[in-house]
Every structure is written in structure tokens, then in C-alpha cells.
Amino acid sequence: MIHSKDSKDKRQTSSKSDNMITVDFQCLIDDKQLCKKVEQVFITAGKFITATLNLKSIISVNAQFLDFCKTYGKCDKDVIILGAAGPARMIPYQDPKENKIRFYPQALYKQMNFPIEHPEFGPNEIMATFNSNTSYWFEGDPLPMLEKQSDMLYVVIHEMIHGLGFTTSWDDYFGIKALTPAIGGTTKPPTPGEITSQSDELQSSQFFELISDKFLVLLPSGKLVSSIADEINKFQFKIETLSSTDGIASEFSVSPQFPIAKNMYNTAMTH
């Protein structure tokens, strides 16, 4: 939450007229005036991000403004979810120097000078939802903000940065209090005329990092988190399909790599 020290303090908006963020905005509430104010915030947020980052390709955002209580049953008055956003699609890329496949958020991949051949892009780079069932402060509203108000521009920019892919793949995917990168696999390339589907058997399986994970380090040692991913990837496994990890958790829990993943979990919980 941002509090202004001076009621006359105004935001420094970008002087650039271009906005590299396009938003497909869907307002699913009846308050049309509030809908217009929120839509304007997305335009302002796009200009802020455009002025801050060196964007070469337009980023498309699918954004919804709706009542989380009515839609999702998230009605807790003490812990209110303001919004959530994430990359709409991840694109794999093999670093020629490291010979390692990492996943790029589509928004970031489109900014890079990578080879033209790549998996098909989705229609949007970022998917975002914001909760209308709370009180927001907008530019021009009375200052100071009320204690229970949230700065709408701050919230939108915060979530859009997450949507750009400033996040990590490390999580407790098996539910055994052990962190690993994302579980994934590669499929066998189809032969000419062959019909494929999501249920096709995977050729190989492993843990995949996001490109942002490459730059994570543990303090105070300075050890690269990516080197820990390499150790965990010594665990050999194969899943039948991308939607099934049955049996892998029990095998992983007795593997030499489990203590490494367990230590990552403990480190994440205590730092």
C-alpha cells in the first residue's frame, strides 16, 4: 500500500505516447463508473511499464475485474485477495552454451532475439484477475488513503510484473515438503501424417527451471540455485503423461536427491 506524504504530490507519468501493453479488459460487475476507472488504471500501468522496460514486442494482457466472493467463494473479510496474474504460456528454449532447457514466459521470449522456430504462441502473454469486492484508492481520490484501501495502480503494476514472469519454478509439487523445479517432459516428435494428442507417451521427464531461476543464489554462500537443480535432476524418472505423476513422489522420497530438495524447502521456509 502506498501512502502519499503530500496531498499535492502527483504521480510522474511517462512522457512517451506509446504503450507496449495492450489489455483485453473484461469488467464483470454492474458499476460502470468503477469499470472505467479500473480500465484507465491499466492504461497508466502499461505506460509505466513501457517507460521502465526495454520492450521490443507488444505484450497482450487478458484482464478481468470481478467479485471474488460471488465468483470463487473467496469471502474472507480479514484476508482479502486483491488480484493474481501469471504468464499465459511458457516457451522452452535450450541455451546453446549450457545445453540446458529452461522455460521463458511468452512475454519475455518475444523480446529476445531467438531463432524464429518455436512452439506456437498463445493469443495473450499475461492472464490476470482482480477483485472488485474491496476498497481501492484511485488517482484523484481524497488523501490520505484509508487504512483498508489499496492503491489500484500499485496492485495492477505489482501483478503485471508477476505476469511478465518475475517468479520461480521451485515449489513443493509432490506435497512432501521438498522443493523442486517444475515437473515436465518432452514428447516424441510425430512422424509425417501421425496424429498426436496430449495423452501421448512422453519420451523423457525431468525438472525444468524458468529462465529467472538461472539468476537465483543462496545467501550468504552465493551458491547458484541452478546448480542445485542440476543435482536434483540426477533423479531419473518417467511419467506417462503430463497430467500424471502417480508413484513418482514415493520414489523421489527415498532417492539420494530427496535430502537436497528437503533442504531447499527448509531454506525457503526460514529465510
Spell out the domain ranges in the chain: 21-163, 182-190+198-270
CA-to-CA dists, residue 177 to 180, 235, 269, angstroms: 10, 17, 10
What does the pLDDT look like over 131-144, one tens digit per residue? 999 999 999 999 99
Residue 16: its pLDDT value, please? 46
Least confident segment among 15-19, 82-86, 158-162, 163-167: 15-19
For 160-214, the pLDDT digits (tens) are: 999 998 889 999 999 999 999 999 876 554 454 544 444 455 566 899 999 999 9
88 confidence band (pLDDT: 50, 70, 90)? very high
pLDDT at 209: 97
The residue-averaged pLDDT of 225-244 equals: 84
Confidence bin at 239 (pLDDT 50/70/90): confident
Grid coordinates representing 82 are: 486483491
Question: Using CA atoms, how far apart are residues 106 and 104, in angstroms rounded to an integer?
Answer: 6
